[in-house]
A = this chain, B = another copy of it.
């Protein structure tokens, strides 16, 4: 479960220096989107003087600054990127050290744990600063395979690739269900989701034998809700992360899945030699694979249309609805109403 965050209220500077315009800034983008009241500034020297809205596409007037000294109200430095493999850019080390000297809490979701860096640990001890590694965990239980509470409907976001918006779709769906009066809970399985939910487990950092067990425990801890919406990780079609995805899928045993993909992407992100399969094939393979343990079906599609116009996204959603016979929407552009209806229809009268 989640390590304690030292500062309350949390007032963050989000470090994206050199990466604000890149796909790896997804941690920054999502925290700004869902926790803007906790964000004092973005730190990216190249974009200093602009706003978060201009640089990240979210966050409105939140300023982008060049130095920690330009965000004196902040009490927390958040590492705002999620690169493949989870290593920190070398030129960020002096920025982290400066934050520690300012007695700020440093929060990181990288695989390169802060607590394993002797320089950071020594500085934190000297200055009385806290280091928080969101991905750190001591999960060591295998899955029990015991059934979940029947009255709890489990929804899981799945995808054809990584970095397509599985977390966003899960957050938006859970919020949409709540607005519709359903007792729904978002369950975070990655570092950014944990910052938004305030709890969870970064399953991609768990020892592989225990990932399904960790996922099962996350669901078990929330099964008193009518609906749990569990954030997916990676993809069964990803050369690096397929096993993480499968452990999570089999640990969660979803009743329903929401397929997420990004319009226009034709190959695995960052591994262009691997083409992505047709969406129909993605749906079939996930349903077949889930059914090894529990019959779950894909009930809707979340289209990430961030690189396209309203008209293009609307046409894509119509095309996908026709092709797959499933409701499709861009949750950021259209809201999650179609997915909310699909989940309510699954649950019949009970929600």
Contacts and interface: CB of A to CB of B under 8 A. Distances in A.
A274 B204 CA distance: 26
A213 B277 CA distance: 22
Interface string A216-251: 000000000000000000001101111111111010
A245 B244 CA distance: 10
A84 interface: yes
A118 interface: no
20 contacts: A85-B142, A142-B240, A145-B240, A145-B274, A203-B208, A204-B208, A206-B207, A207-B207, A208-B243, A209-B240, A212-B240, A212-B241, A213-B240, A236-B292, A242-B292, A243-B244, A243-B250, A244-B247, A277-B292, A285-B288
A89 interface: no
B271 A211 contact: no
Interface of A: 84-86, 111, 140-143, 145, 203-209, 211-213, 236-237, 239-248, 250, 271, 273-274, 277, 285, 288, 292-293
Nearest to A253: B239
A-B CB proximity, top 10 nearest: A243-B247, A243-B243, A243-B246, A204-B209, A145-B239, A208-B208, A142-B240, A208-B244, A246-B246, A143-B240
A23 to B, nearest CB: 15
A206 B204 CA distance: 11
A111 to B, nearest CB: 7
A86 B209 contact: yes
Given A145-B271, A208-B208, A247 B242 contact: yes
Nearest to A239: B145
Contacts of A141: 85
A143 B111 contact: no
A70 to B, nearest CB: 34
Nearest to A137: B207
Q: Which of A85, A140, A237, A250 has the most CB of B within 10 A?
A: A250
A253 to B, nearest CB: 9
Given A145-B274, A207-B207, A211-B243, 15 more contacts: A85-B141, A142-B241, A143-B240, A145-B273, A205-B207, A205-B208, A209-B240, A212-B241, A243-B245, A243-B246, A243-B248, A243-B250, A246-B246, A277-B292, A285-B288
- Give the most central of A86, A209, A212, A240: most B CB within 10 Å: A209
Contacts of A236: 246, 292
A111 B86 contact: no
A212 B140 contact: no
A142 B207 contact: no
Contacts of A86: 209
